[in-house]
């Protein structure tokens, strides 16, 4: 069988560890006490083939959660035997199927097998629709989102998976294998929820394929669309069932065709390749000095600096009427000049619109200063004054007409005007302009067991046990689902002309769950108005096309929060600062309470 499959160019096979024929019973029943060997011998394949080509499937008849004691005990014995034999064979992973919402005893067993430091992966096979619904053709139509009512837990296969997974503390060795077991697909929101789960593979039974005019198997358009979404998660495809199109190879060829006909990636996706769901500790540009390679990455962004240039251009034009452009010099201060991209943008804008500028390039990183001086000597000349100083300690010789500051982290916590303990009003003239003029952060509850599992396994003995959950991470969010649309969190305007300046913030935001799911934390985004309608955004709905300077940020929750469709999630966020540092605290206060994370900044602060 394996040979047949592999010469049809499949990459692996999923086969039962023990054939049903060898079924054994330990506690009762006629198979009790059979003296025969319990499965085929290991000599049928080489170790290398067992280890690379075969996923072992647990006997489907075992019922670990039977209400009958004897059945359950038999099941435990059989599973014990099959797990041991798959270990003996060196199979890379084991596939087992969930058959109902109640699989707590199976979960307990599996959890005990994956906890030891074995590398074996468990593939948890779940049908997209409960077989009961398929039999009765009761699936909600995928087109009728209005009718998208919450299924009872015992008919909702996402509940089957989710409860099983959570019982095992969302262990990373567990992956999901989803079977598209019907020609119907669930609603869009429900499909998106599956995309937030740690999918390893999708199972396509041959009966869901249609036949095209050449007699070859093809999927319906909705199935194609869903499979295309799944492909983005880099999953395996498994074909199941008897060959209904004369040659098993045709299925494989068709799936390869689908794979190859996906649209090419956009620049951001290309740039982010390899960084999907990779958790990064946010930069601390005010406390640390950035490295050359970091500058290089930021400078390569095709959008960010051209938008800055456009904003500066517009501001210069507004600042000086056409008739006075010959005899007026506009003072521009570039704060956080780095290796000079914003200085260049300023000079080019000045050139184009014919407004003269005097530029102060202020930078605290002595390593970047080297580059700034060399640029000044070679290209910029007297128009630019390099100031090797922390802006916050600088006493400027004059006030700025335009203050241009660099944007760095995804919540703009460390952006200069707001990180300064006092707003630098004194630096800008009374009618001076700040670029950016404002920015707004956004948050959205998301489901991502993958990120939750990753954070759970990071542990630092010397820190508070929750510290990994009490800091935000910069991450290219990939294997996740948004609960609903993001909401605005905090807005900052510059220059801030309020009588008392307080950059502390508190907001309680309410989100209504579009579907039943589990929240593992919050995605953080921002958008910014550089000048008038010149904007930058990393918010998914308004993302500046092609811009890759910022990934979203992720605020984890130390416990996943289960929410039902229509329930209101109240998230509380605080931005708090002292003269030396700034930090966030966050929690959830409905539908249930999760303790406040990072109180007093005990686990994470950003140095100023």
CB of 116 or CB of 545, closer to a copy of itself: 116
The minimum distance between CB 592 and a copy of itself, in angstroms, equals: 4
Residue with tokens 């601390």: 284
**Residue 349 burial class via C-beta count within 10 angstroms: exposed 0-12, middle 13-18, buried 19 and up:** buried
Per CB under 8 A, the list member of 68, 115, 143, 352 interacting with a copy of itself is: 115
CB of 147 or CB of 462, closer to a copy of itself: 462
CB of 53 or CB of 443, closer to a copy of itself: 443
Residues 139-158 that bind a copy of itself (CB under 8 A): 153
The minimum distance between CB 285 and a copy of itself, in angstroms, equals: 26
- The residues, ordered by sequence, that sit 6+ positions from 77 with a Cβ below 8 Å of its Cβ are 24, 26, 27
What is the token pair recorded at 152?
């009872």
Q: What share of the chain is helix, strand, coil (3-state, %, to 5)?
A: 35, 25, 40
The minimum distance between CB 8 and a copy of itself, in angstroms, equals: 40
CB of 19 or CB of 32, closer to a copy of itself: 32
Half-sphere exposure of 260 (CA within 13 A, CB side): 6
CB of 227 or CB of 513, closer to a copy of itself: 513
The minimum distance between CB 13 and a copy of itself, in angstroms, equals: 31
Residues 24-63 that bind a copy of itself (CB under 8 A): 27
Per CB under 8 A, the list member of 8, 23, 40, 73 interacting with a copy of itself is: 73
Per CB under 8 A, the list member of 211, 508, 541, 578 interacting with a copy of itself is: 508
Distance (Å, rounded) from C-alpha 31 to C-alpha 235? 39
Q: Is 599 in the site for a copy of itself (CB under 8 A)?
A: yes
Residues 449-478 that bind a copy of itself (CB under 8 A): 459, 461-462, 465
**Alpha helix stretches (DSSP H) within 488-604:** none
The minimum distance between CB 483 and a copy of itself, in angstroms, equals: 16
The minimum distance between CB 446 and a copy of itself, in angstroms, equals: 18
The residue among 501, 506, 494 whose CA lies nearest residue 439 is 494
CB of 66 or CB of 206, closer to a copy of itself: 66
CB of 162 or CB of 440, closer to a copy of itself: 162
CB of 210 or CB of 458, closer to a copy of itself: 458
- The residues, ordered by sequence, that sit 6+ positions from 4 with a Cβ below 8 Å of its Cβ are 248
CB of 285 or CB of 601, closer to a copy of itself: 601
**Three-class secondary structure assignment of 553-583:** EEEEEEEEEEECCCCEEEEEEEEEECCCEEE
The residue among 127, 228, 113 whose CA lies nearest residue 186 is 127
CB of 209 or CB of 490, closer to a copy of itself: 490
The minimum distance between CB 508 and a copy of itself, in angstroms, equals: 6
Residues 242-301 that bind a copy of itself (CB under 8 A): none
Residues 535-594 that bind a copy of itself (CB under 8 A): 559, 562, 572, 574, 585, 587, 589-590, 592-594
Distance (Å, rounded) from C-alpha 92 to C-alpha 322? 72
The minimum distance between CB 260 and a copy of itself, in angstroms, equals: 40
Distance (Å, rounded) from C-alpha 168 to C-alpha 175? 12
Q: How many CB atoms lie within 10 A of CB 504?
A: 11
Distance (Å, rounded) from C-alpha 357 to C-alpha 384? 9
28: left (phi over 0), alpha (psi -120 to 50) or beta: beta
The minimum distance between CB 466 and a copy of itself, in angstroms, equals: 8
The minimum distance between CB 266 and a copy of itself, in angstroms, equals: 38
Distance (Å, rounded) from C-alpha 126 to C-alpha 157? 7
Q: Is the dihedral of CA 43, 48, 54, 60 positive or negative?
A: positive
Assign 508 to helix, strand or coil. strand
The minimum distance between CB 490 and a copy of itself, in angstroms, equals: 12
**Crossing angle of helices 188-195 and 221-231, rounded to 10°:** 30
Q: Is the dihedral of CA 141, 145, 146, 152 positive or negative?
A: positive
CB of 392 or CB of 602, closer to a copy of itself: 602
Per CB under 8 A, the list member of 107, 130, 218, 248 interacting with a copy of itself is: 107
- The residues, ordered by sequence, that sit 6+ positions from 167 with a Cβ below 8 Å of its Cβ are 104, 107, 108, 111
Per CB under 8 A, the list member of 9, 46, 60, 112 interacting with a copy of itself is: 112
CB of 47 or CB of 421, closer to a copy of itself: 421
Q: Is the dihedral of CA 450, 455, 457, 458 positive or negative?
A: positive
CB 361 within 8 A of CB 339: no
CB of 428 or CB of 451, closer to a copy of itself: 451
The residue among 260, 254, 175 whose CA lies nearest residue 208 is 254
Task: Give the x-and-dash track for 487-506 against a copy of itself (CB under 8 A).
Answer: -------------x-x---x
Residue with tokens 């880099």: 234
Using the contact rule CB under 8 A, the part of the chain among 112-120, 338-346, 370-378, 419-427 near a copy of itself is: 112-120
Residues 159-178 that bind a copy of itself (CB under 8 A): 162-163, 166-170
What is the token pair recorded at 401?
């007409």
CB of 88 or CB of 463, closer to a copy of itself: 463
Residues in binding contact with a copy of itself, number by CB under 8 A = 44
Task: Give the x-and-dash track for 388-427 against a copy of itself (CB under 8 A).
Answer: ----------------------------------------
Residues that bind a copy of itself (CB under 8 A): 27, 72-73, 102, 104-105, 107-108, 111-112, 115-116, 153, 162-163, 166-170, 459, 461-462, 465, 500, 502, 506, 508, 559, 562, 572, 574, 585, 587, 589-590, 592-596, 599-600, 602
């Amino acid at each position: 069988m394996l040979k047949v499959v592999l010469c049809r160019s499949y990459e692996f096979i999923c086969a039962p560890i023990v054939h049903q024929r060898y079924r054994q019973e330990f506690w009762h029943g006629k198979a009790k006490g059979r003296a025969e060997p319990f499965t085929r011998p290991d000599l049928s394949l080489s170790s290398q083939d067992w280890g690379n080509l075969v996923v072992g499937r647990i006997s489907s008849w075992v019922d670990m959660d039977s209400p009958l004691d004897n059945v359950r005990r038999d099941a435990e014995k059989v599973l014990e035997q099959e797990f041991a034999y798959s270990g003996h064979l060196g199979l890379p992973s084991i596939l087992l199927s969930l058959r109902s919402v109640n699989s707590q005893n199976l979960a307990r067993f599996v959890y005990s097998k994956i906890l030891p430091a074995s590398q074996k992966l468990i593939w948890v096979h779940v049908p997209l629709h409960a077989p009961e619904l398929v039999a009765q053709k009761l699936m909600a139509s995928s087109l009728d989102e209005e009718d998208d009512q919450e299924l009872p837990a015992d008919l909702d296969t996402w509940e089957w998976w989710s409860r099983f997974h959570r019982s095992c503390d969302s262990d990373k060795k567990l992956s999901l294998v989803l079977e598209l077991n019907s020609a119907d697909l669930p609603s869009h929101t429900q499909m998106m929820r599956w995309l937030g789960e740690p999918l390893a593979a999708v199972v396509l039974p041959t009966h869901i394929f249609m036949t095209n005019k050449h007699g070859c198997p093809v999927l319906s358009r909705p199935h194609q669309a869903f499979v295309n979404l799944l492909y983005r998660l880099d999953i395996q495809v498994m074909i199941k069932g008897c060959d209904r199109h004369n040659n098993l190879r045709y299925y494989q060829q068709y799936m390869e065709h689908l794979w190859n006909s996906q649209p090419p990636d956009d620049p951001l996706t290309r740039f982010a390749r390899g960084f999907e769901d990779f958790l990064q500790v946010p930069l601390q540009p005010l406390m640390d000095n950035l490295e050359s390679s970091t500058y290089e990455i930021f400078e390569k962004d095709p959008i960010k600096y051209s938008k800055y240039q456009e904003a500066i251009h517009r501001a210069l034009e507004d600042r000086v009427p056409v008739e006075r452009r010959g005899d007026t010099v506009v003072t521009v201060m570039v704060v956080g000049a780095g290796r000079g991209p914003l200085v260049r943008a300023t000079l080019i804008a000045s050139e184009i619109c014919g407004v003269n500028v005097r530029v102060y390039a202020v930078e605290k990183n002595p390593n970047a200063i080297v580059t700034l001086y060399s640029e000044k000597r070679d290209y910029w000349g007297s128009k630019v004054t390099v100031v090797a100083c922390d802006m916050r300690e600088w006493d400027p010789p004059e006030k700025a007409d335009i203050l241009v500051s660099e944007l760095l982290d995804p919540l703009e916590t460390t952006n200069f005007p707001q990180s300064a303990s006092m707003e630098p009003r004194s630096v800008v003239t009374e009618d001076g302009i700040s670029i950016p003029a404002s920015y707004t952060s956004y948050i959205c509850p998301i489901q991502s067991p993958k990120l939750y599992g990753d954070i759970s396994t990071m542990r630092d003995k010397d820190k508070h046990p929750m510290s990994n959950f009490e800091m935000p991470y910069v991450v290219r969010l990939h294997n996740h689902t948004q609960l609903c649309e993001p909401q605005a969190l905090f807005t900052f305007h510059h220059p801030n002309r309020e009588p008392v300046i307080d950059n502390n913030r508190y907001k309680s935001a309410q989100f209504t769950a579009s579907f039943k799911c589990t929240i593992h934390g919050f995605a953080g985004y921002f958008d910014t108005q550089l000048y008038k309608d010149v904007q930058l955004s990393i918010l998914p709905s308004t993302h500046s096309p092609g811009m890759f300077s910022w990934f979203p940020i992720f605020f984890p929750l130390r416990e996943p929060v289960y929410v039902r469709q229509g329930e209101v999630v109240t998230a509380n966020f605080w931005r708090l600062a002292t003269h030396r540092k700034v930090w966030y605290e966050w929690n959830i206060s409905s539908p249930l309470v999760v303790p406040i994370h990072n109180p007093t900044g005990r686990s994470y602060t950003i140095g100023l």
